[in-house]
Structures are given as structure tokens and as C-alpha cells.
Amino acid sequence: MAFSSHSSLVDFGNYHVTKGIARLVDGIITKGEGSYVTFEDGRTMLDFSSGIGVTNFGHCHAKISGAAAEQCMKLVHGQCSIAFHGPYLQLIERLLPMMPHPSLDSFFFWNSGSEAVEGAIKLARNVTGRQNIITMQGAYHGRTFGAMAVTRSKTIYSEGFHPLMPGVFTLPFPYWHQLGRSPDTPSSELSAFCLDQLALLLSQQSSPRDTAAIIIESVIGEGGYVPAPPEFLHGLREVCDKHGILLIIDEVQSGYGRTGKNFAIEYSGVRPDIMTVAKGLANGFPLSAVISRKELTDQLKAGSMGGTYAGNAVACAAAVAVADVMKEERILDNVNARSAELFSALNTLRADPKLGPCILDVRGQGLMVAVEFASPVGTSPHDPFINSTMPEKLASRVAKRCVQKGMLILTTSVYETIRFIPPLNISKEDLAKGCKIFAEAVEEIVREG
């Protein structure tokens, strides 16, 4: 089939690609290079989405893509249930010293974040002999059935797909808006409330002897880019230790340098029993990991874990290169330097007398940052932060204006929130360019009302 134009090819895609997939831009990306992507119609755009936190070292990083290309000419598919292959073991060797706790010494590689979450749930249920899982209000863990069951960020991910996996209970997360508190409420106060709710949950809904695990993102992602307070994580760890419950730390989006440390859980010093990693692990090649301690994984029966493409040789080779680049290019130093600049730019906007009333919060860690705008309608008539003087749909309108100005950026959560996920190796100049585009977009949309 021949296509006469870019538009005819887009029309073809719109007709034949399932409507279940949403898109930010109706276009066809033909090339990615560093912090930029080029579309078939000639547009080149600054990418502040990084493929939703996947191309953490920019598009087509020479060393990483080169390692994958070289591996393609050696071994593409070395099925994990048949034998070991070199890149799989080399990747474990690279990851071991990066772990947030030395007890994390057993690895299983899969393809996606959702699969990693499924594996973590399977492991927790198997080794504890218990069924129930406690998840967080606002959590996102994926779209497959087990992962979807513990997702609480938006109903769109599970609407029409019930019944979901049973045995899931939801705990309030210490996020001021969800709790109806002001943005400046101390995190200790929010955490204390949520930990008290956990005690009630274990007394009223799921007995500790029936509870296999608590699963939490170190930084809530789809729920609004809200870091979990250290005191809350420590409280969860204490409850888990007391009752023999496993603590699953989901680092699919927040891990691998995104927040300025190898893993965001390091900010609290809390030890995970199981940790899930994906997205930036292989800089665009499909790869995820379920990481735990050997004393737990040794209880699994051979064959209970696996997958046709699990731990693909090409993806693992790319991930080995990612780990090397992390050190060689001092990625974490760049993340922390650029993070300070990003927060400065966003807080300058918030301090502007004309724009400040529109911005409820600037938050995040490293280069996982969000701006939450005010709304004239909120999530319900009872939302305490409704401001009738504000423009409607600020976040989506600002994101659309950024696209028009040449930058890809995404919204997140049920609130009016925009998230910043630029490449971790983004230059000072490109970060400043992105901040300028965002500021212009906010000013224009607020002026339009």
C-alpha cells in the first residue's frame, strides 16, 4: 500500500490502530536524537516526556544503541528457561553495587513494568502464603490484570474490565490534595494520618495474617508526582516487620537516576523486600526487573517464573551499557544540577503575582517534577481547592500549547497537573529552553482565561 502524504499515513494509523491507545500528537516520529524527536512532516520537537520516562539518556545514545546493535549480531534471543546468556549475567553484576540495600541480591528480568509488578505480587503471595495486597490511593502500577488491580490513579485504566484480581485494599497516601489539606501541611502530619489509617485497615479490612504485601511507588507517578515522605516509608517498614508483610517498592518510573539517586527509595534509607524496575533500565529497549533477596526467591519452584522474551539478550546488552554510561557521564550529577535549575524556574513562575494564584504546588525529586494548577471545578463540588476565578483545564491546555511551541510534555493525575520528565543528561541550554516554552505557555493560557 502506497501513501501519498504524511496526512494519509496518519489517517491510516487512526483507522487501523486500536482506539484503546491515546496519543499526545497526531504525527509520526521518524527520528530521535538526544533530547529531540523529528516527525515525518518536518517538525523537530524538544522532548520533555522521554517516552514517559524511558529514554532517560536521550534518544539513540551512541554507546547504548551501539551495544544493542553489536549484540544483535551475536545473539538476539537466548531464552531464559533454556540457558544463561552473557548480557543477563553482566547486567546483574552491574546492578548489585547499585542496590539501595545489600539484601537485594536476586534478579529476574522481564519485559515491562506491569510484568514486573505481576512478578512481585506472585512472589509475595507465594512466599507468605497470604493473598491480600495493600496499595495506595493514587497509585499506578500498570495495565495487566494484577497490576491494574493495584492501580488507583484513574478509573480509565480499569473501567469496563472488572472483575479485577481480588484481595486488594487501598490505603490513603500522604498527598495533601487527596487528604483535603493545604499544600503546606507538614509531611509528618500527613504521614501520621495515613499510618493511622493503615492500622485501621489492618483491624477492619485485611488482617495482617491475610496480608501478603504493601506496594508503593517511592514517588507516586500517575497520581501526581508526589514523593513518599521518609517518615511514611519508615512507618510502613515497621508495620511490615511487625506482621511479616513484604514491602514492595515500585521504582518503575522513579528509579534508575530519575530522582537524582540510583533509586528514589534511597532518600529514606528504607529497605525494600521486593523492588520493581523498568522504564529507564535499558533506555528504550523493553526490559524490567523483579529484585528481591535470595532467601525469598529460593522458595519459588523452578518454572513458576519465566517468559518467552524475559531478559532478552539485546535489551540486557543495552542495559549493561546504560549502567556504564550512568557512571562514565556522571549522570546523577547532571540530574541534580538541572533539577535545581528546573525548580528555580518553576518557583519563579509561582512567585509571579499574576501567575502564582494559578499554581497550587511545585513538587518532585530530581528530574521527576510536577506543577499542579488550580481549577474552577476540581474533582467534585466538595474539592476544598476549587477556585472559580481560574481558567478551566489549565494543565491540558498548557501542555497542548507547549506542543504547538515545539515541546512534548505530559499531564498526569486526576488533578490539573503537568509532569516534567526530560532526559537525565539534558543540557543546561535545552532545560532552559524547555522552561521558557513552559513559562510562555502558562502566561498565554492564563491571559486567555
Q: Indicate the pTM of the whole model.
A: 0.96
Containing 243, the helix (H) or strand (E) segment is: helix 230-243
pLDDT band at 449 (very low <50, low <70, confident <90, very high): confident
Identical fold between 49-57+330-448 and 64-328: no
Q: Which CATH number is correct for 49-57+330-448, 3.10.520.10, 3.40.50.720, 3.90.1150.10, 1.10.3720.10?
A: 3.90.1150.10
Q: Is the pLDDT of residue 5 over 90?
A: no
Q: Is the pLDDT of residue 418 over 60?
A: yes
- Least confident window among 9-18, 187-196, 412-421: 9-18
How much is the pLDDT for 8? 87
Beta-strand pair 410-412/417-420: antiparallel
Residue reference for cell 514517559: 52
**Side-chain-facing half-sphere of 402: CA atoms under 13 Å:** 27
Mean pLDDT of the chain: 96
Its CATH class, for the domain covering 64-328, is alpha beta
pLDDT band at 7 (very low <50, low <70, confident <90, very high): confident
pLDDT band at 296 (very low <50, low <70, confident <90, very high): very high
Report CA-CA distances (Å) from 133 to 2, 147, 208.
51, 11, 10
Containing 108, the helix (H) or strand (E) segment is: strand 106-110
What 3-state class would DSSP assign to 21? Answer: coil
Report CA-CA distances (Å) from 127 to 122, 173, 282, 297, 301.
9, 26, 29, 8, 11
Beta-strand pair 36-39/44-47: antiparallel
Beta-strand pair 274-277/246-250: parallel
**8 A C-beta contact, residue 228 and residue 175:** no
Q: What's the average model confidence in pLDDT over 115-141?
A: 98
Reading the block at residue 402, the C-alpha cell is: 507547549
Residue reference for cell 519452584: 301
Q: What's the average model confidence in pLDDT over 71-93?
A: 97
Instruction: In whole angstroms, give the CA distance from residue 87 to residue 95.
Output: 12
Taking CA 284 as the corner, what is the angle to CA 311 and CA 371, rounded to the nearest 5 degrees? 125
pLDDT band at 4 (very low <50, low <70, confident <90, very high): low
How much is the pLDDT for 225? 98
| 3-state helix vs strand vs coil in the chain, percent to 5 | 40, 15, 40
Instruction: In whole angstroms, give the CA distance from residue 67 to residue 320.
Output: 8
Taking each helix axis from N to C end, the angle separating 428-448 and 331-351, rounded to the nearest 10 degrees, works out to 20
Q: Is the pLDDT of residue 2 over 90?
A: no
Q: Note the pLDDT tens digit of each residue in 216-266.
A: 999 999 999 999 999 999 999 999 999 999 999 999 999 999 999 999 999
Q: Please, which residues have CB within 8 angstroms of residue 383's CB and are 6 or more apart in sequence?
A: 375, 377
By the 10 Å C-beta count (0-12 exposed, 13-18 middle, 19+ buried), 63 is classed as middle
Domain residue spans of the chain: 49-57+330-448, 64-328
What 3-state class would DSSP assign to 288? Answer: strand
Instruction: In whole angstroms, give the CA distance from residue 89 to residue 56.
Output: 22
Name residue 226's beta-bridge partners: 220
Taking CA 273 as the corner, what is the angle to CA 290 and CA 255, rounded to the nearest 5 degrees? 55
Instruction: In whole angstroms, give the CA distance from residue 291 to residue 106.
Output: 6
pLDDT above 90: percentage of residues in the chain = 96
